[in-house]
Amino acid sequence: MTQNQTNPERILIIDDDQAIWKSYRQVLCPTTPEPDSSLAKINEILLGGGTQGNDSNFVLSFANQGQDGYQMVADSKEQNPFALAFVDIRMPPGWDGMETAVKIRQLDPDIELVIVTAYSDRSMEEIVRAVGSPDKLLFLHKPFDPDELKQITRSMTSKWRMARMEEQQRHARERIEEQLHQAQKMEAIGTLAGGIAHDFNNILSAIMGYTDLALMRIKGTHPEVESDLEQVRKASIRATDLVRQILTFSRRQTREKSPLLISVIIKEAMKLLRASIPTTIDIREEISSQATILADATQLHQLVMNLCTNAYHAMADYSGVLTVTLHDTTLAEGEIIVNNTPIAAGNYVTLSIKDTGTGIPHSVIANIFDPYFTTKEKGKGTGMGLAVVKGIVDSHNGAITVDSEPGQGSIFKVYLPASTAGSGAEKVIDASFSVKLLSTRHERIMVVDDESSLRELAYQFLTAAGYRVDLFANAEEASNALTQNPHAWHLLLTDLTMPGMTGEQLAIKAKQIKPDLPIIICSGDIQSLTNKEIAELNTSTCLQKPIDSTSLLTAVAESLRARDNKSSD
């Protein structure tokens, strides 16, 4: 690319002699002759070609005092900086050339400088020591030769441009390296998530299971205790969804959405927030919408928690007003524009989170949804809260806006499309057994799990439903027992991830020993199995931990019924 095809380089001339300005213009920005002029025709004959236009690519600016030149550099540094400055050494009555050059160098370390001298009280060595960066400093003596001036200008602006390009490339490399580092961190988080899912879901299985047992035993006798246990159960379900969300996020999978009443989610989230937000903050709710949306309940819960937590953190002294509103909105085409894109017309539910905090500086408001961007002090934020919110909103085909004034607070508005589907009430499972889940033939079931609490829990559920149960702490013992007496058991219930022989290996071995044996695989990370792997296991069903009593007994009853139907065919 030739020089005159690039953006013009800005050059600053600081000289108190305005007559010299004309010389700079004539040399660096000569006027191109008119195509039909005599000079143009002579040039064409002499040069043997077309008219030679101005091959320079410079924009000149002028200042007659050092202070004025310094201010011009300051005003243009961020948006459109000067590449080169010619500074006359003597400019009475203000700063001389050396003082001007020193101050400009401190302001903009990248600018190229040329000290123009005819006579000076200062030596070159003194000027170089004072200004610094000798690789970006030259001297030009008056009266200057036009060709020398042009060559110096071209060389130094090219040098400035190359240095600028190298700096941009360095920043680009750093961004790519940071993105790679973050990608590696996310991969590590995904690996960690898969590892903790098994253990954490086992813990949740015990909590949910023994809560179910307690509910069964006190049903109708202790209403207050029963109500408390139901709250434990609801919290366990929420924790279960959170684990699944972590796994989904780590694998970049899409979570299933269902119709739900958003007002219920908002009210549940606000109950939790009231317990965690200081009492000095006045929380106000204005929930008027009864609309249904197609959404993931756990992600919406997280969205509300993140926005409200961000809002109260913005109230520096932890005092102020946090207002949460939810109302129905009908938008016309182009009524709301986000990132230069109008929101589609239609019916929406609008969630607003308003605070009376410190507000967001206008200079950074465009970056607040970027991952790892934070205005908080180091150690007080990851910069992921609003990025996660933006991701959730996008995944629900919604939009989010923010209005903020420093010192007055902020308001975030989330627009989510309303759904025409019926409301999906949260699934509530009765801890008591229905008659159709009870065994009438007392089938014998093999339960294999390395967690003693989960083996005991399965034993309690299954024996209460009328089954006979044998417990095994590892797959090797279960495999040996099946080999010795293959017809003793009617169904195998096994954990997937165990030390030594895995549940997957046990299932394959069991099918070799007894092909018609129904097998139920349980795992805290069942989504890690592909459809092909599940098909190869040839199991009756796969259950995601934590498993509630009804899901377990339903899977057992249906697996045994399917075996009986197959046998009778």
How do residues 244-275 score in pLDDT, each as one tens digit? 766 665 555 556 678 888 898 888 888 878 77
Neighbours of 554 (CB within 10 A): 16
What backbone phi and psi angles, to 5 degrees, belong to 373?
-90, 130
Residues 6+ apart with CB under 8 A from 5: none
Look at phi and psi of residue 561 and say left if phi exceeds 0, alpha if psi is from -120 to 50, else beta: alpha
What are the start-end ranges of the E strands in 3-145? 9-14, 58-63, 84-88, 112-117, 137-141
Q: What is the pLDDT of residue 285?
A: 93
- Give the residue extent of every domain in the chain: 3-144, 257-417, 435-568
Question: CB within 8 A of 436, min separation 6: which ones?
Answer: 557
Q: Which amino acid is at 545?
A: K
Burial of 187 (0-12, 13-18, 19+ CB in 10 A): exposed
CATH class of 257-417: alpha beta
CA trace torsion 523, 527, 533, 538 (10° rounding): 50
Q: Is 15 helix (H, G, I), strand (E, B) or coil?
A: coil
| Tokens representing residue 74 in the block | 């300051």
* pLDDT recorded at residue 491: 95
Residue 71 and residue 77: Cα distance in Å, rounded? 10
Q: State residue 528's pLDDT score.
A: 59
Q: Do domains 3-144 and 435-568 have the same CATH topology?
A: yes
Contact between residue 25 and residue 62 where contact means Cβ atoms under 8 Å apart: no
Q: Tell me the β-bridge partners of 542.
A: 521
Q: pTM of the prediction?
A: 0.46
Low-confidence ranges of the chain (pLDDT < 50): 1-5, 32-35, 37, 39-40, 42-54, 378-383, 423-435
- Return the sign of the alpha-carbon dihedral for residues 104, 110, 114, 119: positive
The CATH superfamily label for domain 3-144 reads: Response regulator (3.40.50.2300)
CA torsion, ordered 276, 278, 281, 283, to nearest 10 deg: 20
pLDDT of residue 441: 73
435-568 has CATH 2.30.42.10 classification: no
Confidence (pLDDT) at 190 = 67
